[in-house]
Structure 1
Amino acid sequence: MSYENTHNDHRVPTIAVVGGGYGGITTAKALDDVANIVLVDPQDSFVHNVAALRGVVDPSWAERIFLPYDRLLRHGRVVHDRAAHVDSGGVTLGSGERVAADYIVLATGSNYPFPAKVDAEESTTGIAMFHTMHKELAGAERVLLLGAGPVGLELAGEIKAVWPHKAVTIVDPASDVVAGRFPDNFRAEVRRQVDALGIELLLDTPLRAQPSSAPGESAPFTVTTQEGREITADIWFRCFGVEPVSDYLAAELAGARTADGHIEVDAELRLSGARNVFAIGDVTAIPEPKMAKQAGDHAEVVAANIKALVSGDGELTSYEPGPDGIALPLGPKGGVSFSWDYAPETGMLDAETTAQVKGEGLMLDTFAELLGRA
């Protein structure tokens, strides 16, 4: 095993990357040639969550979104375990093993209800979960989605693309679709396409109680809105409830954890008072969309900063959040996106462009190449 030695004390530093999601794999790959990388993640494969919702309606996609880690690194190693405690000196794993590290990158992301995210440690278990949910959904005629954010809207579009005849209802207590700093014309176009697909959208509509059946289980039920309207469906999905994963922070790092579980970072993406510990992606408290693109942008900044620290050369880079942007497919051919970078005049990208950017291939090739699976 060989490494490019740029450390000024002639010792190859060890970098523990905790979390093998979008930010974690990008950081680990970028630093593999300058340090001893230890990537820690309990799952046996990277899960391409961007395409997870399609795996529910098309079982062939369920097989494709699990990408093993074995070709990600040429030098470093991947440890399939959970981080039980992380302090500035290293990572204590659930097994009790201690990974001492010169630098630590926290990329543990967030939990979210299945099928948008998968918490199965074995890919075979995850694939089986998708197949089971597909079978349940295929047999249901009426679908209720709780949440009019990106997940609920995208899942509705996927369902309608495969089963146009199914009745799909989205319910949300919020006054409009998609939280974030987006203009009215973006949300208006989302609502227009949702209506054109025959999806019923009920906003400002809290429920008295959630359905009695389990999410993803085909079993007829009736729920009642606060105003007394009854909604009957055969299956429902919870499309809200993101939870950052940061309960492993220990000792001097624990103070960086906010009340809601996010991690506070400075402009260089370091935890306050910890010059060698960085955090990236969904787990950070940075007020911006929690998406794969932002995690990748964070990873680039952190990789550059660690390289500068290892070599002792150059200034550290600050991360500057850009304007909110989103690519929101509504099935393989529909959807709407917003990005000032790609559409400087209006910010709006139409359904055809959205399909090219994300809807058709769901960016699978990009991450398959990063993991050496292309």
Structure 2
Amino acid sequence: MSQTPSTKVYNVLVIGGSKGGINTARELERLGAHLPIRITLLEKREAYFHTVGSLRAIVQKDIAKKLWIPYGNLFRNNSRYGHTVVQGVLTRVFPFHIEYANTESPVNFLPFDYLIVATGSIYPEPAKMTSFTAKQGIETSLRYYRCIREAARVLIIGGGPVGVELAGEIATEYPEKRVILVHNQSKLFLDEYKDSFRDRAREQLESLGVQVILNEKVIIPEEKGLEPGGQTRILRTASGRAIESDLQFLCTGISFDTRFMQSLSDNMAGLVDPSTHQIRVRPTLQVRDPRFPHIFAVGDCNDAPCFKLAIHAIAQGKMTARNLRHLIEHDISHQRRDLGRMAPLKLEEYRDRHNLMTVSIGRHRGVTQSRFGLVLGNWYSKMFKSSKSALVDARWRDLHADRENASWLHDEVV
């Protein structure tokens, strides 16, 4: 399709450069190679942060700098319409443009014909990073690395996947340390998983010497919280049990920041669930408000009824790319430009999948619940997750990243 002055180029704007956003953008680039599409990815970080290795990086310091992967070669066919990655923080969403802030200006603008919000979720460090630069993120990982080395007693609050993996990493690397994991339910993880999966994870931890305390809730002092860094504390549970530790990790409390949606509509409750702050979506992953059929939400930030796992974000991103191709092809064939009055189309709907969960417990142990409900032990988990350095290398290849452009790779790790 040759571009003429009358050819409309459709601006597709993706907010968020993690699993959901990247898979939407790259799948649309592939599917829409014949269409007049310009894809812009807005991401707050200067590089992709590979969260799969975040917990391994705080016990093996050489991994930390490899987790930050440049976006420079994300798009493979950007010569025609100029697909690009822009660094900035989304601040406000409007029907056909967004505002964002960066180091140069607090207010910048990007127009769109279609918008995909994939801003993810918020989780305490070091599992997820608040840093916007690779240098700051690496320094954060190394700070936790030093704190762990100096601590004799480590308290982990929360027995979900992050808490279990963190306990396994520390106990494997430092078997001489006392690692205590406290969870407020009778078994690890959520009730939706099989008891045999939950029990096996506990057995794996205890075989490493981790003390697992169940049915106890740790009381966090409201006036101080848990300041980052090593500090000897005595914390009490709701039942009055005292636990002394030199270093504490909070592995609970996934949350969402979708305040940027307030500028889109006076009816905020119609766009965002007031209790969870997740964006309300239809099964097609379009926002539920019928005035905005050209705006989608993908991954953790939406209220689609599924666990917030990477597997769902990836699948939702690819499905959204297919739906966008269909919408744009329909728009071209009918010469429609008013997306607010776009005729209803039959789009794909996202269906919840059986939850595959693989939790690595150090380098040599792990437990998996397959999509078919089978619970598998060390051999399967090791094959997929224990070699996290190999997974990092695979991610570099997948993003076609150039190591020469990652200056932080060449800095000496102290």
C-alpha change, 1:27 and 1:213, in structure 2 (3 Å) is closer
> Quick check: 1:5–1:11 contact (8 Å CA) kept in 2?
no
| Aligned mates of 2:133, 2:209 — CA distance in 1 | 37
Could you say which residue in structure 1 is the equivalent of 2:314?
A: 296
Please report how far the alpha carbon of residue 315 of structure 1 lies from its aligned counterpart in structure 2 after TM superposition.
4.8
| Aligned mates of 1:225, 1:91 — CA distance in 2 | 45
Please report how far the alpha carbon of residue 51 of structure 1 lies from its aligned counterpart in structure 2 after TM superposition.
1.1
Could you say which residue in structure 2 is the equivalent of 1:81?
A: 88
Instruction: Please identify, of 324-333 and 200-209, the stretch whose mean Cα deviation from structure 2 is larger.
Output: 200-209
| Aligned mates of 2:17, 2:356 — CA distance in 1 | 24
Q: Which amino acid aligns with 1:218?
A: G
Please report how far the alpha carbon of residue 356 of structure 1 lies from its aligned counterpart in structure 2 after TM superposition.
0.9
Match 2:388 to one of 343, 350, 361 = 361
Could you say which residue in structure 1 is the equivalent of 2:282?
A: 266
> Quick check: 2:157–2:218 contact (8 Å CA) kept in 1?
no
Contiguous gaps of at least 5 residues in structure 2: 334-344, 403-414
> Is it true that 1:103 corresponds to 2:105 in the alignment?
no
> Quick check: 2:71–2:401 contact (8 Å CA) kept in 1?
no
Match 1:317 to one of 336, 341, 348 = 348
> Quick check: 2:273–2:280 contact (8 Å CA) kept in 1?
yes
C-alpha change, 1:14 and 1:208, in structure 2 (3 Å) is closer
SS in 2 for 1:231: strand
> Is it true that 1:17 corresponds to 2:28 in the alignment?
no
Could you say which residue in structure 2 is the equivalent of 1:27?
A: 24
> Quick check: 1:5–1:12 contact (8 Å CA) kept in 2?
no
Q: Aligned residue pairs: how many?
A: 366
| Aligned mates of 2:386, 2:326 — CA distance in 1 | 37
* Cα displacement string for residues 269-306 of structure 1 (whole angstroms, at most 9, x for unaligned residues): 10021210111111111222212111100001000000
Query: What's the C-alpha RMSD, in Å, of the aligned pairs?
Result: 2.2
SS in 2 for 1:297: helix
C-alpha change, 1:213 and 1:244, in structure 2 (3 Å) is closer
* Cα displacement string for residues 61-94 of structure 1 (whole angstroms, at most 9, x for unaligned residues): 1111101111102421111111111123121112
Q: Which amino acid aligns with 1:236?
A: Q
SS in 2 for 1:244: coil
TM (norm. structure 1) is: 0.92
Could you say which residue in structure 2 is the equivalent of 1:41?
A: 43
| Aligned mates of 2:312, 2:191 — CA distance in 1 | 14
| Aligned mates of 1:319, 1:206 — CA distance in 2 | 35
Could you say which residue in structure 1 is the equivalent of 2:340?
A: none
Please report how far the alpha carbon of residue 322 of structure 1 lies from its aligned counterpart in structure 2 after TM superposition.
0.7
Please report how far the alpha carbon of residue 174 of structure 1 lies from its aligned counterpart in structure 2 after TM superposition.
2.2
| Aligned mates of 2:369, 2:2 — CA distance in 1 | 43
Describe how 1:1-374 pairs up with structure 2 within 5 A. Answer: 10-32=7-29, 33=33, 34=35, 35-74=37-76, 75=78, 76-94=83-101, 95-210=106-221, 214-249=226-261, 250-252=263-265, 254=268, 255-259=270-274, 260-272=276-288, 273=290, 274-312=292-330, 315-340=346-371, 344=372, 346-361=373-388, 363-373=391-401
Q: Which amino acid aligns with 2:363?
A: P
Q: Which amino acid aligns with 2:241?
A: R
| Aligned mates of 1:207, 1:132 — CA distance in 2 | 24
> Quick check: 1:213–1:221 contact (8 Å CA) kept in 2?
no
SS in 1 for 2:21: helix
Q: Which amino acid aligns with 1:286?
A: A
| Aligned mates of 1:101, 1:370 — CA distance in 2 | 27
TM (norm. structure 2) is: 0.84
Please report how far the alpha carbon of residue 323 of structure 1 lies from its aligned counterpart in structure 2 after TM superposition.
1.7
Q: Which amino acid aligns with 1:299?
A: G
SS in 1 for 2:260: coil
Instruction: Please identify, of 270-279 and 357-366, the stretch whose mean Cα deviation from structure 2 is larger.
Output: 357-366
| Aligned mates of 2:26, 2:2 — CA distance in 1 | 16
* Cα displacement string for residues 81-116 of structure 1 (whole angstroms, at most 9, x for unaligned residues): 111111231211123221110100000001111000
Please report how far the alpha carbon of residue 246 of structure 1 lies from its aligned counterpart in structure 2 after TM superposition.
1.3
* Cα displacement string for residues 308-367 of structure 1 (whole angstroms, at most 9, x for unaligned residues): 111128952111111222111101211101112xxx4x5212111111112212632443
| Aligned mates of 2:233, 2:247 — CA distance in 1 | 8
Please report how far the alpha carbon of residue 5 of structure 1 lies from its aligned counterpart in structure 2 after TM superposition.
7.2
Please report how far the alpha carbon of residue 125 of structure 1 lies from its aligned counterpart in structure 2 after TM superposition.
0.7
> Between Structure 1 and Structure 2, whose CA radius of gyration is higher?
2
| Aligned mates of 2:394, 2:250 — CA distance in 1 | 28
| Aligned mates of 1:69, 1:372 — CA distance in 2 | 9
Please report how far the alpha carbon of residue 213 of structure 1 lies from its aligned counterpart in structure 2 after TM superposition.
7.8
Contiguous gaps of at least 5 residues in structure 1: none
Please report how far the alpha carbon of residue 229 of structure 1 lies from its aligned counterpart in structure 2 after TM superposition.
2.1
SS in 1 for 2:62: helix
SS in 2 for 1:327: strand
Q: Which amino acid aligns with 1:10?
A: T
